[in-house]
Homo-oligomer: A and B are copies of this chain.
Amino acid sequence: MKAEIIAIGTELLMGQVVNTNAAVISEYLADLGIDIYYHVTVGDNRKRLKEAILQAERRSDLLILVGGLGPTEDDVTKQVLAKHLSEKLVFDPSSKKKLEDYFAQTKREKTANNERQVLVMENAKALFNHVGLAAGAFLQKNNHCYAVLPGPPSEMKTMFTKELKPLLQEIVDENEQIHVRVLRFYGISESQLATKLERLILEQTTPTLALYAKKTEVTLRLATKSKSTSEAIKRLDKLEQSVLATEDVVSYFYGYGDDNSLAKVVVSLLKEKGKVLTAAESLTAGLFQSTLGDIEGVSEVYKGGIVAYSLEAKAKLLRISEASLLEEGVVSEFTARMMAENSMEIMSADYALSFTGVAGPNSLEGNSLGTVWIGFARRAQTPVARLFHFSKTRQFIRESTVMCGLDILRRELLKN
């Protein structure tokens, strides 16, 4: 089954609203094993919407129209689709009751155009709006399926999952049920990984294999359609083994799933080992610790740390001699090691990472933009420091530094 999403709204074409609905609906459809080949956006314009519907009917089986269900004259989605399909628009009783209750409760005046929101095509199944007022609809007619959803993302999401999804599941052939596995990699670029996996990518049939370059990492999506879950898992296991058996690939692989991150993996490993981490940050200015702070339950393994942006702060907060900082330089192996060691002592932590380098715009102490030393201290071991060179923007240099620090710790935690 091929689907196409048509988003309706002039605010989308003006750039006032980002079309997040298209992404969310696509993800929902992918999970149902429904293929999507096109997203289209048109304004609140009858003629252009009609043309978009005609075009979608020529190339897709399922048309999902989202937006333009509101109370104003601008909102034309239902009207255009109903006219095109020669359907009468009638009131949906449940939705109309909700609308009336809403206006009674909030003591607002209900203007006539408000009732437009609860109109549905006569032969369609009304989709109840659990969050807002505008009713959606689902109709199978002339070998096509049509779904109409409201534009506000929270209304759309609830209507899709509670109302539309069960209907779509009924009509999707069981054979088409899709099974997906996401593998996450850090430290290898999209093109390097693509080169290493070239043979597997070229030879792919099922499961399929797709690479996605994220900001500072790469994900690999394995997907297969199958009636049997165990059969699907077997196939995914086999392909995953081939991927990870490819020369050198496994060392960059750090975890599974769309809702995962290097920071989450590191926090889990720290919890598992019962270890506590701290950090002393210069160029990253708190970004490393803030990345940890984003993870629920991190307080078990992270208690706090220091942002020592200037030379004076490195001396004062991290108790490094100012003379040595001046002599060795703030962007140096010495400073990175001292920052890590002293912050570990101060916080009585098991591990400490430190970051000092040049985020730009100017070079520093003769070090060019993107030069970064990362220090790493472990209880009862000599601290170490490694030199890196990052590039692009100030923000990207800082983000790359954070990811690199997380990876150093992850590799260490896997050792023991």
Contact = CB atoms under 8 A, between A and B. Distances in A.
A72 B346 contact: no
Given A24-B15, A70-B213, A302-B309, A131 B393 contact: yes
A12 B27 contact: no
Contacts of A304: 306-310, 312-314, 317
A314 B215 CA distance: 34
B23 A22 contact: no
Interface stretch (A135-143, A186-194, A265-273): A186-194
A111 B19 CA distance: 36
Contact of A398 (B73, B212, B294): B294
A346 B360 contact: no
A316 interface: yes
Nearest to A297: B361
B213 A391 contact: no
A298 B290 CA distance: 18
Interface of A: 7, 10-20, 22-30, 36-43, 45, 48, 55, 70-74, 102, 105-109, 111, 113-114, 131-132, 152, 154, 189-192, 194-195, 201, 210-213, 215, 219, 221, 258, 281, 283-290, 292-294, 296-299, 302-310, 312-314, 316-317, 346-347, 359-361, 389, 391-396, 398
A345 B192 CA distance: 50
A303 B313 contact: yes
B72 A194 contact: yes
Contacts of A106: 389, 391
A296 B360 contact: yes
How many copies of the chain does the oligomer comprise?
A: 2
A23 B113 CA distance: 29
B389 A10 contact: no
Nearest to A9: B212
A41 B41 CA distance: 9
Nearest to A109: B192
B391 A102 contact: yes
Contacts of A15: 22-30
B19 A39 contact: yes
14 contacts: A15-B25, A15-B28, A15-B30, A19-B23, A39-B39, A131-B392, A152-B215, A154-B392, A284-B293, A299-B310, A302-B309, A304-B306, A304-B308, A306-B306
A360 to B, nearest CB: 7
Given A16-B258, A258-B16, A299-B309, A37 B30 contact: no
Contacts of A286: 281, 285-290, 293, 305, 307
Interface centre among A29, A39, A42, A212 (most CB of B within 10 A): A39
A108 B391 CA distance: 13
A195 B109 CA distance: 11
A16 B210 contact: yes
Nearest to A182: B16
Contacts of A221: 14, 16
B16 A12 contact: no
A210 B14 contact: yes
Given A14-B210, A27-B16, A317 B290 contact: no
B42 A13 contact: no
A39 B12 contact: yes
A303 B309 contact: yes
Contacts of A392: 131-132, 154
Contacts of A73: 194, 201
A389 B305 CA distance: 26
Given A289-B285, A296-B361, A309-B303, A30 B12 contact: no
Contacts of A107: 389
Given A71-B194, A307-B286, A19 B16 contact: no
B190 A71 contact: yes
Contacts of A290: 284-287, 290, 398
